[in-house]
Amino acid sequence: MGGKSVSLAKGEKSKGEKPKGKKSTGARFRDLSLWFVLVAIVSLFFADIFLYQPDPWEEFTRIGWGMVTPFWPDANELLMSALYTVSFALLGVAVSAALGVLLAIWFHWRVVRVFSAVIRSVHEIFWGLLFMQVFGLSALTGLLAIIIPFAGIFAKVFSDVFHQQSSATVDTLAGSSRLSRFFYGWIPQAWPAMRSYIRYRFECALRSSAILGFIGLPTLGFHLETAFRQGDYSEAAAVFWVFLLLIGTVRFWFYKKLLPAYLLGAVFMLPEMPPVNASFVWQFFTQDLWPSPLLNGDLPGAMSWYGNVLADEVGPALIQTIAITQAALVLSGVMALAWYPFASRWLVGRYYWVGRFKLLVLRSVPELMLAYLFMLLFGPSALPAIFALALHNGGLIAFLLANHSQDASSQQRLDSPSGLARYFYQDLPQRYPAFLALLFYRWEVIMRESAMMGVLGIATLGFYVDSAFEEIRFDKAFFLILVAAALNVIVDSLSRRLRRAAGLKTPRM
Amino acid sequence: MMLRSVFAAAAGLLMSAAAVAETFTFTAIPDADESRLNARFGKVADYLSEQLGVDVKYIPVKSYPAAITAFRNDQVQLAWFGGLSGVQARALVEGSEAIAQGYEDQFFKTYIIANTSTEIEASDELPEDIKGKTFTFGSKGSTSGRLMPEFFIREAFNASPDELFSRVGFSGDHSRTISQVQSGVYQVGAVNYSVWDTEVEEGKIDTDKVKVIWTTPTYPDYQWTIRGDVDARYGEGFKEKVRTALLDMKDEDLLASFPRKSFVPASNDDYAPIERTGKAIGLLD
């Protein structure tokens, strides 16, 4: 968006014309948005979009009926898996937040930044699949799958939070060590923001924990997947409602003062750990994860191995993953803009809570669950993935925008327009920078999720990862996971650059 | 129970494979109806416990590789595997052995099924008309839902499924293959004959919408595989005791979990054809 910037000097503005060459902020946002829309439209031609199900309505009716007739034969079983879900989430967040603080303190070191970016670029499900090979279906697998990526995310966000604080307090601690400056200066100051982010992350952890059930851990996702797979929609609904209830009522059952008790309880709740064979762990990381020609020092052989994987799997998977991401990103944006006014009191009046409730449900339901549902309806093409990603992320962004819109009530003047006029001429233009910033922030997340959705049978990177695990080819699975990670690191840095170029601030979550 | 688990894990790490568990654990690949696995296989665990005189536990797994991993990691010592998953598991655990198979597994077969809207007629040869249709296998690592049907399809048409069909999917399990072909999500599919026959009997299949169009030649399939070190850990002759307990399982209620008529002896060699086929289509190295 650089362009020539001579026009202002020539005084063209005084004639009441728009300066040529130098674009206004609005025009910059418009161009940026249009570019993304264009890319998304092109993506649709590459994405594998196909309606398998000739008659989805029959299935749809059955799912709908199941949703209103939830039923579970064994309450104890359901309760246990709900408790497992909470335990994994609690311990996962507690440990990863602590690690995140440590990483954030040394975030000025490039190696720490890169390390954090890499560990958060691998999806929980992929971490889970990897650790399952060594630690089995155990508590350790579930905990590590949450702790590792979450620590990377916490590191990035905490570091952003520290940067937003005033340095006045910390300046008085000049001369003391880096650690003291953080623990006596930055952290106490940033604590309210950190606490609210940890709370949000706990909700995410509940989602991740539930989702890990899809690969076999004993959390709610385990029963949900089974029930869906068997077409027992009443049972699926029972698990689903329990999960929503769990997330929706966090603030009623989570007492800060009882945190130590909760953590202790969570430790005792964790499922039992099978014995781990040290030589086996060693063999997994030093042998199994690497292609045999590489281990034998056969360089040409290794090259051809990587070449084959790149051509046969990585190529087609990348096209699908990127196409789905771009389409879902733009669709999320469209949905967010269409939905948020319905959840803002200033725009729709007193029924705003209906819209709010809808957005809360959408943001609470993990993408993978939504995708699974849509896959039952439309079959395993890119379509369910795009819809699921757009619904979840659109709902999440709309929810935040609605909050921003409500907070802007002080700008309500007597002559403020109402309804549509207020939306188009006042609220939307005011929200747009935050909207773009949030969307760019979610870009990386959407990419990670769309790669992972392959485990459902949609031909993104996850599909090939899953196949490689199925064929007990850990070397291939590991390489594909690394590719997915690299893709995320690239998107993350691209998003940061675009945000900076467009003059967008770090969004308020 | 985490603290204990941590200690157990630490001890395990230090002593390396010195077994702390005296419980004998088994699992089964989730190949069809996955509901109430705990209730169904819990009964099998009770039976084995009674016969063997040790604590026997069943743990449910979500996928074929998870079953193999549990076996390799010694989380389970005994597993009900498919033909291919058994070969994969035994390749990973030295000394492990196939000890029994279902009576039906000596001559197992796959049905190729089609949605009736395709108007493909049943025949003795694999019908040409399946070309260009959408097609679903079962789980990616399934013998009857993937390996053998893919082998016979390649043999008949001298082309890979990707070249032959307009779309190839993996439903995940046999029940789901049936429901997806029945509902038209896919036009043609490959399914374990025993799951199909059982579900037809139970009235779960609408035979006006989906029917069998071809049956593959027979091949060996599911089997019980046990780790090689069980005698050292559970006492001399333990492996034979397990084999006897399985062969003596006569209760129809227990056998229905698999579902099999009875169990008969088996050996690793019985599965050589599966291994060859796996190598032929590139699923095994």
Q: What is the ipTM of this complex?
A: 0.80
Is A46 part of a structural domain of the chain? yes
Indicate whether A89 and A43 sit together in one domain. no
> Which of B33, B70, B183 is the closest to A59 by Cβ?
B183
Sheet containing strand B188-192, edge to edge, reads B167-170, B134-137, B188-192, B110-115, B210-215
| CATH number for position B189 | 3.40.190.10
> pLDDT of chain A along its 509 residues, tens only?
333 333 334 444 444 444 556 678 888 888 889 999 999 999 999 888 877 666 667 778 888 999 899 998 888 889 999 999 999 999 999 999 999 999 999 998 999 999 999 999 999 999 999 998 888 888 999 999 999 999 999 999 999 888 888 777 777 777 778 888 888 888 888 888 899 899 989 999 999 999 999 988 999 999 998 888 777 889 999 999 999 999 888 888 888 888 888 899 888 888 777 677 788 888 889 988 999 899 998 999 999 999 999 999 999 999 999 999 999 999 999 999 999 988 887 777 778 888 888 898 888 888 888 888 888 778 778 999 999 999 999 999 999 998 888 877 666 677 777 777 788 888 888 889 889 999 998 999 999 999 999 988 888 999 999 999 988 899 999 999 999 999 999 998 899 888 888 888 776 65
Number of domains in chain A: 2
Indicate whether B246 and B117 sit together in one domain. no
- For the whole model, what pTM was predicted? 0.85
Q: Which residues of B touch A215 (CB under 8 A)?
A: 62-63, 66
Contact A447, A487 (CB under 8 A): yes
**Distance between CA atoms of residues B139 and B176, nearest Å:** 10
**Distance between CA atoms of residues A367 and B239, nearest Å:** 46
Q: Is the CB of B2 less than 8 angstroms away from the CB of A58?
A: no
**Chain B closest-CA separation from residue A169 CA (Å):** 41
Is B249 part of a structural domain of the chain? yes
Q: Is the CB of B139 less than 8 angstroms away from the CB of A215?
A: no
**Distance between CA atoms of residues B150 and B281, nearest Å:** 8
**Distance between CA atoms of residues A91 and A148, nearest Å:** 12
Q: Which three-class secondary structure state does DSSP give residue B257? A: coil
Q: Which residues of A touch B5 (CB under 8 A)?
A: 138-139, 270, 272-273
Structural domain of B226: 2-105+220-280
Indicate whether A374 and A487 sit together in one domain. yes
Indicate whether B198 and B243 sit together in one domain. no
Q: Which three-class secondary structure state does DSSP give residue B189? A: strand
Query: Which residue stretches of A340-427 are H helix?
Result: 345-348, 352-364, 367-378, 382-407, 419-422
Indicate whether B198 and B230 sit together in one domain. no
Indicate whether A91 and A42 sit together in one domain. no
Q: Is the CB of A136 less than 8 angstroms away from the CB of B75?
A: yes
Q: Is the CB of B9 less than 8 angstroms away from the CB of A140?
A: yes
- The label of the residue with tokens 């089997």 reads B223
Q: So what's the pLDDT on residue B251?
A: 93
Indicate whether A270 and A326 sit together in one domain. no
> Which of B61, B68, B73 is the closest to A216 by Cβ?
B61
Is B285 part of a structural domain of the chain? no
Q: Does A235 touch chain B (CB under 8 A)?
A: yes
Is B32 part of a structural domain of the chain? yes
Is A337 part of a structural domain of the chain? yes
**Chain B closest-CA separation from residue A91 CA (Å):** 12
Q: Does A76 touch chain B (CB under 8 A)?
A: no
Q: Which residues of B touch A137 (CB under 8 A)?
A: 59, 61, 66, 70, 75
Indicate whether B250 and B115 sit together in one domain. no
The closest of A213, A208, A209, A245 to A229, measured between CA atoms, is A213
Domain-terminating residue out of B174, B191, B215: B215
Indicate whether B67 and B7 sit together in one domain. yes
Indicate whether B182 and B250 sit together in one domain. no
Residues lower than pLDDT 50 in chain B: 1, 10-21
Q: So what's the pLDDT on residue A52?
A: 67
Q: Is the CB of A229 less than 8 angstroms away from the CB of B14?
A: no
Q: So what's the pLDDT on residue A496?
A: 86
Q: Is the CB of A52 less than 8 angstroms away from the CB of B134?
A: yes
Q: Does B19 touch chain A (CB under 8 A)?
A: yes
Exposed, middle or buried by CB within 10 Å (0-12, 13-18, 19+), for B231?
Answer: middle
Q: Give residues with Cβ within 8 angstroms of A472, minimum separation 6.
A: B65, B68, B88, B92
Half-sphere exposure of B83 (CA within 13 A, CB side): 30
Q: So what's the pLDDT on residue A20?
A: 54
Q: Is the CB of B74 less than 8 angstroms away from the CB of A225?
A: no
Within the 192-221 window of chain B, which residues sit less than 8 Å (CB to CB) from chain A? none
Contact A423, A352 (CB under 8 A): no
Indicate whether B113 and B203 sit together in one domain. yes
**Distance between CA atoms of residues A227 and B244, nearest Å:** 35
Query: Which residue stretches of A165-255 are H helix?
Result: 168-171, 178-180, 187-211, 220-230, 233-248, 250-253
Is B258 part of a structural domain of the chain? yes
Indicate whether B141 and B8 sit together in one domain. no
Domain-terminating residue out of A276, A302, A326: A276
For residue A412, the tally of other CB atoms under 10 A from its CB is: 11
Strand ranges in chain B using DSSP code E only, listed in sequence order:
24-28, 56-58, 78-81, 97-102, 110-115, 134-137, 167-170, 188-192, 210-215, 223-226, 263-265
Within the 55-84 window of chain B, which residues sit less than 8 Å (CB to CB) from chain A? 59, 61-66, 68-70, 72-75
Indicate whether B101 and B225 sit together in one domain. yes
Within the 37-56 window of chain A, which residues sit less than 8 Å (CB to CB) from chain B? 50, 52-55
**Chain B closest-CA separation from residue A265 CA (Å):** 10
Contact A92, A210 (CB under 8 A): no
Indicate whether A43 and A132 sit together in one domain. no
**Distance between CA atoms of residues A386 and A1, nearest Å:** 29
Q: Is the CB of B14 less than 8 angstroms away from the CB of A278?
A: yes
Q: Does A58 touch chain B (CB under 8 A)?
A: yes
**Distance between CA atoms of residues A35 and A24, nearest Å:** 17
Indicate whether B135 and B194 sit together in one domain. yes
φ, ψ for residue A89, nearest 5 deg: -65, -45
| CATH number for position A146 | 1.10.3720.10
Q: Is the CB of A471 less than 8 angstroms away from the CB of B63?
A: no
Structural domain of A261: 69-276
**Distance between CA atoms of residues A218 and B19, nearest Å:** 24
Q: Which residues of B touch A72 (CB under 8 A)?
A: none
Task: For residue A116, give the amino acid letter.
Answer: S
Number of A/B CB contacts below 8 angstroms equals: 135
Indicate whether A119 and A216 sit together in one domain. yes
Number of domains in chain B: 2
**Distance between CA atoms of residues A381 and A49, nearest Å:** 5
